[in-house]
Amino acid sequence: MLRFDRRLIHHFDWVMLLMLFLVSGMALANLYSSTWNGGASPIFFKQLYFSLFGVALILALISFDYKELQTFGYIMYGGIIILLLYTDFFVQGTIAGTNRWINLGFFRLQPSEPAKLILVIVLASWYARHEAGSGYGFRKLLIPGLITVLPFCLILIQPDLGTALMLIILFCSISLLVRVRWSTVVILICLGLAGASIGYKFFLKDYQRKRIETFLHPESDPTNQGYQIMQSKIAVGSGQTLGKGFLEGTQGHLHFLPERHTDFAFSVWAEEWGFAGSVFFLSCYFFMLLWGINIAMGARDKFGVLLASGLVILIFWQTVINLFMIMGFLPVVGIPLPLFSYGGSSLLTTIVSIAILMNIRMRSSVIQK
């Protein structure tokens, strides 16, 4: 498992590493600004330490063959289910009325973050092992569906609706990659619509319904639920073409914008660097995702193709949802912007995802004897 082929050194993915450093550098600069109070904040240093640890983690993760994940992923899945159960039923303290974190002393682990990555690994493994020449029917999707539903329910209990829905999005996206019959697609859409209607009416909490209503009409409650969206729009719009400058954003530094270092981190960036800075950041970010697609296309086995595609899908959908959220096109659901929003669990999960992509590219580039 830990045998290292020296030929891999010559195929090290410097492009992905460079893009990771570039995006992470902008993220740290943005976090420094959004939490600045006469100097660097403890939050900034904590994220910096996580970033440095993530770089060391990359070196460890590229040293083994990614194909080992096809079996090891199921053990990881069992482990994350245990952690989610522990979080739901045994964690005593709550943060913002939710049970999402396990306090390890030096670090608060949020199991729902690595759960997304592990689900991608397990789904890619299952689909790689179970072929369906004429397309996957409804019965064939029951097992991967159950694999998804279990962590979905455990995360929903916390409650964390945004992350739970992210698991459903991952299941649907990866399933469509492996060719699902049209009749099954229709059935899944109908079930999804029915489930969404029933969930909204009977299972969503009042504040979750309020978020959806506020998304549709943010001006109807400008001092409470609609406040975040309106302040985020103001921050993004006030940046104009070139921005107000580093450390000069008013919405963030005057504390008008809540969660400015987590969910709404990009709003701070847009205000300080404007349209030009936002285009530059998004160009770097989406080039990194395009490079990930290139890795998936170059993978030598079905598991590698599905795993790389799933990891790109994971980062892509979180990015799109977060950006649409801060611009008021989606309800506020607490989905972080990968690599950019503050949070150790999210940051390390994304870095591990990128390390696996680098692993796939390196081993796909080596000429097999």
Residue 33 lies in a domain: yes
Query: Which residues form the domain of 143?
Result: 6-365
Q: What is the pLDDT of residue 94?
A: 58
* pTM for this entry: 0.89
Q: Is residue 303 part of a domain?
A: yes
User: Of the given ranges (164-168, 178-182, 208-212), which has the lowest mean pLDDT?
Assistant: 208-212
pLDDT, position 1: 46
pLDDT at residue 89 is higher than 50: yes
Instruction: Let me know: does 229 contact 332? Beta carbons within 8 Å.
Output: yes
Q: Which of 127-136, 160-169, 235-244 has the highest mean pLDDT?
A: 160-169
Mean pLDDT of the chain: 85
Segment among 115-119, 150-154, 261-265 with least mean pLDDT: 261-265
Quick one: pLDDT band at residue 249, thresholds 50, 70, 90? Answer: confident
For the cut 80, the answer to whether the pLDDT of residue 340 exceeds it is yes
Q: Looking at residue 217, what is its pLDDT? A: 59
Total domains in the chain come to 1
Indicate whether 344 pLDDT > 80.
yes
- Which pLDDT belongs to residue 214? 60
Per-residue pLDDT, averaged over 200-225, amounts to 61
- Residue 99 has a pLDDT of 72
Give residue-wise pLDDT tens across range 253-287.
666 677 778 888 999 999 999 999 999 999 999 99
Q: Among residues of the chain, what percentage have pLDDT more than 70?
A: 86
Domain assignment present for residue 263? The answer is yes
State the pLDDT at residue 226.
63
Domain assignment present for residue 1? The answer is no
Q: How confident is the model at residue 132 (pLDDT cuts 50, 70, 90)?
A: confident
pLDDT band at 369 (very low <50, low <70, confident <90, very high): very low
Residue 121 confidence class, pLDDT cut points 50, 70, 90: very high
pLDDT classification of 332: cutoffs 50, 70, 90: confident
Give per-residue pLDDT as tens, 37-51: 878 889 999 999 999
| pLDDT reported for residue 348 | 94
Residue 102 resides in a domain = yes
Higher pLDDT, 274 or 205: 274
State pLDDT tens for residues 296-322: 999 989 999 999 999 999 999 999 999
Q: Comparing 53-57, 103-107, 116-120, which segment has the lowest mean pLDDT?
A: 103-107
- Arithmetic mean of pLDDT, 7-31: 89
pLDDT digits (tens, 9 = 90+) for 60-71: 898 888 999 998
Average pLDDT over residues 225-252: 80
8 Å CB contact between 215 and 330: yes
In-domain check, residue 58: yes
Domain assignment of residue 88, yes or no:
yes
Helix H, strand E, coil C: the string for the chain is CCCCCHHHHHHCCHHHHHHHHHHHHHHHHHHHHHCCCCCCCHHHHHHHHHHHHHHHHHHHHCCCCHHHHHHHHHHHHHHHHHHHHHHHHCCCCCECCECCCEECCCCEECCHHHHHHHHHHHHHHHHHHCCCCCCECCHHHHHHHHHHHHHHHHHHHCCCHHHHHHHHHHHHHHHHHCCECHHHHHHHHHHHHHHHHHHHHHHCCHHHHHHHHHHHCHHHCCCCCCHHHHHHHHHHHHCCCCCCCCCCCHHHHCCCCCCCCCCCHHHHHHHHHHHHHHHHHHHHHHHHHHHHHHHHHHCCCHHHHHHHHHHHHHHHHHHHHHHHHHCCCCCCCCCCCCCCCCCHHHHHHHHHHHHHHHHHHHHHHCCCC
**Structural domain includes residue 149:** yes
